Structure formats: C-alpha cells, structure tokens
Amino acid sequence: MTMNIERFVSKGKGNGLRALREIKAGEAIHSCEPYSFCIAKDFLKTACHSCLKSLSRCSQCKTARYCSVQCQKQAWPDHKRECKCLKRLQPRIPTDSVRLLTRIIFKLVSLCSVCVDLADMSEEKKEGLGHLCTTLQVYLGEENGDLSQLPPGLDPISLLARVTCNCFSISDGELQDVGVGLYLSMSLLNHDCQPNCVMISEGKRLTLRAVRLIRPCEELTISYTDILATSKERRSHLQEQYHFLCQCTRCTTEDKDCDMLAGEKTAWTSLRDAIPHLEQLQSEQRWEELLKESQALLHRYTDVVPDRNIYVLRLLDLSMDACISLDDYKTALEYGNRALETYKLYYSDPHPSRAVELLRVGKLQHYMGRLEEAQGSFTQAYDIMKVTHGTDHVLTNEVRRKLSECQAELGQV
C-alpha cells in the first residue's frame, strides 16, 4: 500500500481506503499486480484472427494463451496444475470465477481479509454458488479435489462469494473485459455512482487514478456498476451482486433517470427487450443481421424515443460496431456522432468510456479525410486520458500519435 492512502473503517460500509494528503485529478494513487487472474474464455471467442494468431497457445490444454514464449515460461508454475484440470474438462471450459478460485486454492491464500456477508445473499444466489461449487469439484478432480484442506473458516461457497464480490475485470484498450483478477488491496475500495477515482488496466496491472481533486481524509471510491443505467437498475444490481443498497446522491435523487428513459415507454421497452438478442448476434459476429435489425428498430422509433435514451444509445453503439466490421465507415461515423452527444450527457466527469468513444469517432473521421473534426476528437480524447489513463499509458500514446498525424496532414507541424 502506498503512503498516500490508508485503510480505515468507513461509516456504514465497513473497511475502506482514504487519502492521507490532497490528491490532484489525474494522479496515480495506487498500482498493483493481481494475486491471481485468468483470461476470459469469451475474449478468445470474440478476439480478431490477427490477435489470436499473435498469441502462443499451451500445447497441452489448448486453452491458455500467452503473448510470448517468455511469458508462457513464467506462467508455467501457476498453470501447471490448472492445465491438467482444463484437459480433464475438454471440450468444456469452466466459468472465469471457477478458474480464478481454483488458482487461488492452489496458492492456499487466506481470504479472511476480504469480506462478504452470506446472510445478506438471496437464496437464488446461494443456489447459483452451489452449482459453481459442483463445477469446481469436477474441475479440480480427485488429485486436487480435497477441499477440506482449505484454511480454517473457509468453505467453497464462502470462497466463491468472496471472489465474485471482490474480483476486478481486466480490460483491453477499448475497455472491453478480457479477464478477471483478484487484487487484494484494491478490494478495500467502496462504491459510489459518481466516484472520485477510476481503475485502469494495462496488461494485468491495475492502477487507481483520481478523476477530481481529493481532499485529505476523503474516502476513495470507484463505481462497481455501469453508470449507464437508471438508479433502480444500479441499486438492483448492487444489491444482488454485492449485497448492499446504494445510498449515493445519484441514486437517492434519481439523477438523470428521466433522461435515460426519455420517450414513449412502450417504445423504449421494446428496444430494451431486443438488446439481449442483438448482443448475442454481436458475440457471434453476425454483423449483417445485427445491422439490419438494429437499423430497423432505430428507424421504427426515431420519432418517439430520443437519442439520450440509454436503450437507443446501446443500439447506436451496436450499429456502429456492425458498420465498422462491414467496412461501412461513413454510416459508422453517423452513428458514432449521434452516440457522442449522449456520452457527453452521462459521462460529464473525465471518464475513460467517453475518451474511448472519442478515439473511435476520431479514427473514423481521420479515415474519411475529415481532418479538422478528427483533430478535435483526438484533442478531447487526449485531455480526458491524461486524467483517466495517465500520459504514459499505451492508449494515451495512441491518441497522441493520431493527433500528431492529423496536425501533420493539416500542415500544423
């Protein structure tokens, strides 16, 4: 733990972290490697062919992938026992939480320092954890499956509960989840729907950065949930996943809820109900079907549901992804520009999601020869990423490089 922060008891929340001195916006507060982690199987399904081709694959389990031979050799001590488990279950692959917990069990870590109250957990959630425990037992197999050897006071269900409540997503450059990891010191951070910090991944390393001025003794907070959701949806998710009722200002005042659900209710309800199917088409890379169905919905409800509605925004993002994959960059830019206005409404603070969207739109503008517009988008993205990612992050460097290209083409260098 750095000297900038300390552990303390946060009123009504349990353990937390707070600042010991004034911390400026954009400052890196704490950075650490995971105690244990795994790359999500869904990332391997959706990664492009060129990405997969550049990764080395374990010749035995055919599941674990590595960026280099050296990386594979370094990972072998941890992967050795997992490899046998993966081979046993082929062609099935266990859930990410089961794989992560198995790695932790192999290390025999005591998770008593990270807490979860099983009494607050719904019966449905307990039943789901029970099913995961069965998968865990099968995955471990007879040679690894004696769970009675766990540290005192820990059983498989409580371990799973601790892992699912305290693990963090590992994301790529565009904030897409590619895995999960357990970062013990970061697990002390409490939630706020308008937090003063963000978590940024670079590889598997996680960095906590301030997005606004933080006063001495002020608690450090992050968001556990997607802020592009109504207060009711956020509270429901937090209660189900983390077992607490959010009392932050955004939730208690229902901030921006009216904007998020703007338009005719029957119309946006139809959009909301269609999204899971459209996301399935996206995961299966059925781009033509995705674009056709998304465009039909957007056209059908264009006069009764505005772009600031969160379900329209989701359709705009899906349509943009489909157009990019189908090389229709002009239409992709139209959807991107529409989405940016809504991103600005909901991501008013320096937020990495808005920066990434500006970068995507800027790339399309640059490709289409709209250099002044691209320069504006890259400049906005860079100003945000200096705070959220830091000046040395690989994504910040990409934005800086794209901005320099625009300036050179405009004759400004």
Q: Give the CATH number, domain containing residue 197.
A: 2.170.270.10
Domain of residue 244 covers: 5-32+183-251
Residues written for the chain = 413
What average pLDDT does this structure show over 262-274? 97
- Domain final residue, candidates 251, 283, 311: 251
The stretch 224-233 carries a mean pLDDT of 94
Domain assignment of residue 159, yes or no: yes
CATH of the domain at 75: 1.10.220.160
Same domain for 242 and 336, yes or no, is no
Summarize the confidence of residues 312-320 as an average pLDDT: 98
The angle at the Cα of 175, spanning 312 to 35, to the nearest 5 degrees, equals 140
C-alpha torsion angle, residues 259, 262, 268, 271 (rounded to 10): -40
Q: Is residue 299 part of a domain?
A: yes
pLDDT tens column, 139-195: 666 555 555 556 666 677 777 777 778 888 888 867 788 888 888 889 999 999 999
Is 144 among the domain residues? Answer: yes
Residues 329 and 282 in one domain: yes
Exposure on the CB side of residue 52, measured as CA atoms within 13 A? 12
* CA-based end-to-end distance of the chain: 43
User: 199, 225, 251 — which closes off a domain?
Assistant: 251
3 state SS for the chain: CCCCEEEEEECCCEEEEEECCCECCCCEEEEECCCEEEECHHHHHHCCHHHHHCCEECCCCCCCEECCHHHHHHHHHHHHHHHHHHHHHCCCCCCHHHHHHHHHHHHCCCCCCCCCCHHHCCHHHHHHHHHHHHHHHHHHHHHHCCHHHCCCCCCHHHHHHHHHHHEEEEECCCCCEEEEEECCCHHHCEECCCCCEEEEEECCEEEEEECCCECCCCECEECCCCCCCCHHHHHHHHHHHHCCCCCCHHHHCCCCHHHHCCCCHHHHHHHHHHHHHHHHHHHCCCHHHHHHHHHHHHHHCCCCCCCCCHHHHHHHHHHHHHHHHCCCHHHHHHHHHHHHHHHHHHCCCCCHHHHHHHHHHHHHHHHCCCHHHHHHHHHHHHHHHHHHCCCCCHHHHHHHHHHHHHHHHCCCC
| 120 and 45 inside one domain | yes
pLDDT in tens, 322-367: 999 999 999 999 999 999 999 999 997 799 999 999 999 999 999 9
Ranges 41-50, 137-146, 223-232, 285-294: which has the least confidence: 41-50
42 falls within a domain: yes
Closest CA to 320 of 307, 305, 306: 307
Are residues 401 and 326 both part of a single domain? no
Q: For residue 270, how many other CB atoms are within 10 A of its CB?
A: 15
Domain co-membership, 41 together with 100 = yes
Average pLDDT for the chain: 85
Question: Which residues make Cβ contacts (< 8 Å) with residue 119, sequence separation at least 6?
Answer: none
Question: Does residue 171 fall inside a structural domain?
Answer: no
Q: Structure pTM?
A: 0.78
Q: Which of 34-38, 156-160, 272-276 is the most confident on average?
A: 272-276
pLDDT digits (tens, 9 = 90+) for 85-141: 888 778 777 777 777 777 766 665 444 455 555 556 667 766 776 777 777 667 666
Q: Are strands 65-66 and 56-57 parallel, antiparallel or unpaired?
A: antiparallel
If asked whether residues 351 and 341 sit together in one domain, one would say no
Same domain, 82 and 118: yes
Q: Are residues 137 and 89 in the same domain?
A: yes
Do 323 and 331 contact (CB within 8 A), yes or no? yes
How many domains are contained in the chain? 4
Tell me, yes or no, whether 156 and 63 share the same domain. Answer: yes
Residue 255 pLDDT class (50, 70, 90 cuts): very high
Which residue bears the tokens 């050799």? 73
Same structural domain, 340 and 351: no
The answer to whether residue 175 sits within a structural domain is no
Taking CA atoms, 68 is separated from 62, 74, 75, in Å, by: 15, 10, 11
Q: Contact 189/222 with Cβ under 8 angstroms?
A: yes
Question: Pick from 345, 369, 394: which residue ends a domain?
Answer: 345
Looking at the structure, tell me whether residues 299 and 245 fall in a common domain.
no
Q: Which amino acid is at 351?
A: H
Same domain for 234 and 315: no
Query: Residue 401: its pLDDT value, please?
Result: 97
